[in-house]
Amino acid sequence: MTATTDGSAGALPPRTASASDTDTDIDTPGAAGVPEAAVRAMRRATDLLLARQDAQGWWKGDLETNVTMDAEDLLLRQFLGIRDAETTRAAALFIRGEQRADGTWTTFYGGPGELSTTIEAYVALRLAGDAPDAPHMARAARWIRDQGGIAASRVFTRIWLALFGWWRWEDLPELPPEIIWFPQWVPLNIYDFGCWARQTIVPLTVVSAKRPVRPAPFPLTELHTDPGDPRPARPLAAVTSWDGIFQRLDKVLHGYHRVASKRLRRVAMNTAARWIVERQENDGCWGGIQPPAVYSLIALHLLGYDLKHPVMRAGLESLDRFAVWREDGARMIEACQSPVWDTCLATVALADAGVPADHPQLVRAADWMLGEEVLRAGDWAVRRPGLAPGGWAFEFHNDNYPDVDDTAEVVLALRRVRHPDPGRVDRAVGRGVRWTLGMQSRNGAWAAFDVDNTSPFPNRLPFCDFGEVIDPPSADVTAHVVEMLAVEGRAHDPSTRRGIEWLLAAQEPNGSWFGRWGVNYVYGTGSVVPALTVAGLPAAHPAIRRAVAWLETVQNDDGGWGEDLRSYEDVDGWSGRGASTASQTAWALLALLAAGERESKTVERGIEWLVGTQREDGSWDEPYFTGTGFPWDFSINYHLYRQVFPLTALGRYVHGEPFGDRTAAPQPGS
């Protein structure tokens, strides 16, 4: 990925911007017409996607985030004493390549410089031997000081620095390991946190209690605004505000740290260790994602697990599997891997493109997905103890945290394949449907991992300034579930009806829907409209018409659609606004096609954009980040999105909607 030099965080992008930096037009619709050009583009994309399938049946594109993954990997290796020259060189090569001309690093392509990301990248390059007076390092340090220095960075960055004595543990928020004992009815018990947060917080309570310091190999005085006072006091919020209450609670917890019973604390840390070890996956990782693995390894090491212990050895080996080696020798670390998600989306795309349902590669994909079904209870069972398992996770190995979104999409994908053992498919789908129905929240919607994970308190903790730490229901996940249930003949089911009612109530005043797991209103709208129409709402329904009107107003002058991640922070300025991308253009087209707009000029221009920007090999270029981990705070570029979603849109444009003959459901709100 080429780093951008545009440091502007405020100016709106031009309406004619395109994701492609080069002229890749290979099939401009002319006298032959748009439909014929779409067929040719669809065939090229189909051939490319089929060629990229693994022999075992899965697809997986790179999952690109930001350089904190790479920096923290080096810092972990430094802390454990296992950092080697080759890994350091390759990581530094990647980190340097992502630096912008102003010296900063961003959390997404084209975004503004981000302080904590820039600090962590800078420290990693210092570990790699880059001198602080080198021009690229001096620019970074100057920018960091201008933004308030280390003292203004997020808690997690300062935790990493505290491990080496670059920050004082006493000046960090406190979260005691005794939280592991809080029952579910107590606020701030670990199950009040989203699964990704609890997996990270539990080991960090051990680290926070131990407060280890490994001698720093160099000082970082150049990153303080005032080296003589590197830790200026932060102002307290009003005592009557929630922020003020939690700041004062943190002071109490610091006092408790000084007087806590050593025996009680030791028992709490051992309980946390058992909790951590019990959740290690078969491949050695935790939850299939890199951050919990990193902190779990540190916590267990502090509790006496040596590097040769099977738990530690497997954990360290799992981290190596997150590494993507580039042709230039650079090493990028993925935050997680997405084979189940990529495989079900690829299967749907190929089926929509006309690949026969019994095609060997689709059958192989179905076999692999069937083998990935999670058949044991995980953390979700804490709030649904009587619910039988039967879902799918996102990653290769993640039996503790299957998610509703993947389960819904896998069921949709399996139903597109003519498998030689239909009974096996029916049984797996039946378990998945039952599990999904059991994961419905009280308000009628669905979240990704847990039920009713909506406590307002975790996000208030001073400790939790690293992104979203709860898992409330969202429009995109709920839409995928509603679509899946409708395809399964459950459009009239009371649970489906409640989901539809929630979606209709969640529509934004401008006609769009918020996208929790994709960027952003284009993703939400592209998810909801197809679900509502499959569930039986007519194209003339007011909610559908409002969505169509909104998509028409935000179409770019070049015919595509795009949305910048800044829409999470500045809705009025950025909602539906951004450089055209292949995946976001496809999402808009999926909504418009589902709404019966195939013959419209809006759809024609969108298809023309997809056809005109396709590369000769059948792919699309997409440097922009269109996936979401935490809204605004953590963004993702799924490298397969640029392939599967355009192919799905082209397929539905050419062949029509795949579920258009479903029985219409009652129409709420009409």
CB neighbours (10 Å) of residue 229? 10
Q: Where are the alpha helices (DSSP H) in 614-640?
A: none
CB neighbours (10 Å) of residue 306? 9
3-state secondary structure of 330: coil
In contact, 153 and 185? CB cutoff 8 Å: no
629 Cβ contact list (under 8 Å, min separation 6): 65, 335, 467, 635, 636
Stated length of the chain: 670
Distance CA 123, CA 146 (A): 17
320 Cβ contact list (under 8 Å, min separation 6): none
Distance CA 482, CA 487 (A): 9
Distance CA 24, CA 46 (A): 18
Distance CA 321, CA 318 (A): 5
Q: Where are the alpha helices (DSSP H) in 234-371?
A: 242-259, 262-278, 290-302, 310-320, 339-352, 360-371
Query: Which residue among 192, 403, 405, 471 is the active-site one?
Result: 405
Nearest to 581 by CA among 564, 559, 561: 561
In contact, 484 and 408? CB cutoff 8 Å: yes
In contact, 198 and 379? CB cutoff 8 Å: yes
In contact, 479 and 528? CB cutoff 8 Å: yes
Q: Which two tokens stand for residue 41?
A: 């583009």
β partners of residue 638: 63
Distance CA 641, CA 283 (A): 26
CB neighbours (10 Å) of residue 13? 18
Residue 288 φ/ψ region, left for φ over 0, alpha for ψ in the -120 to 50 degree band, beta for the rest: left
Distance CA 291, CA 201 (A): 10
264 Cβ contact list (under 8 Å, min separation 6): 178
Distance (Å) of CA 67 to CA 64, 70, 109, 157, 493: 9, 5, 12, 13, 45
661 Cβ contact list (under 8 Å, min separation 6): none
In contact, 303 and 270? CB cutoff 8 Å: yes
Q: Which two tokens stand for residue 364?
A: 């192989």
In contact, 604 and 593? CB cutoff 8 Å: no
Nearest to 522 by CA among 498, 496, 545, 555: 555
In contact, 634 and 625? CB cutoff 8 Å: no
β partners of residue 630: 634
405 given a catalytic annotation = yes
β partners of residue 106: 113
Distance CA 467, CA 121 (A): 19
At 472, the amino acid letter reads P
β partners of residue 637: 64
Task: Supply the residues annotated as catalytic.
Answer: 405
